[in-house]
Structures are given as structure tokens and as C-alpha cells.
Amino acid sequence: MGGELMRIRWKIAVSGMVHGNVNGVKPGDIMDLPEQEALRYCRLHYAEPIVTRDEERAVAPKGEERAVANEDEERPRRGRPPKIAP
């Protein structure tokens, strides 16, 4: 079963034996695991994959970047409009 290894960062703490680590893992710990097991932990939201520089990263095209509101502009009010006296 000599498959590819995948590097993951744990998002949760797991106590006890975890893939040869007798003290378990803490959030933020990094581990190289066989790809199938690493993907399983990612699907369960226990860990997240670590993307290396040579892997492709998703980047929004220039036209699809979100516009940032100007802080000086007045923001629209929410809720009911004020009552106007007759």
C-alpha cells in the first residue's frame, strides 16, 4: 500500500495513539499521512490539507474580485423607514 503521502494540519485535538504518535495530536499539528487516510480526515473536518508552493491554488480572476465599500460612503439603513408625519 505504498501510495502518495499527503500533508495535513489538524484542526481538532485527538487523544491516544494517532498514526504512531502515542500522545495524540493537538490543533495545528502537521502530519504526513497516506493520501486516502488524509482525505478521510479532511472530509470529516478533523484536518485541512497543506498546499505546497508547487501545487495549484485557486485565485479569483481580476473581474470577479469583490469590491470593497468606501468607508466614507454612508451605508444603507436597515429596517423600516421612519414614519413621516401627515
| Entry pTM | 0.56
Cα 53 from chain centroid?
17
What's CA 82's distance to the chain center, in Å? 42
- Three cell numbers written together for 47: 484536518
75: CB partners within 8 A, 6+ apart:
69
Q: Residue-wise pLDDT tens for the chain (86 aa)?
A: 567 899 999 999 999 999 888 899 999 999 999 999 999 999 999 999 998 766 566 666 666 555 555 555 566 667 787 788 77
Q: Give the other-Cβ count within 10 Å of 77's Cβ.
A: 8
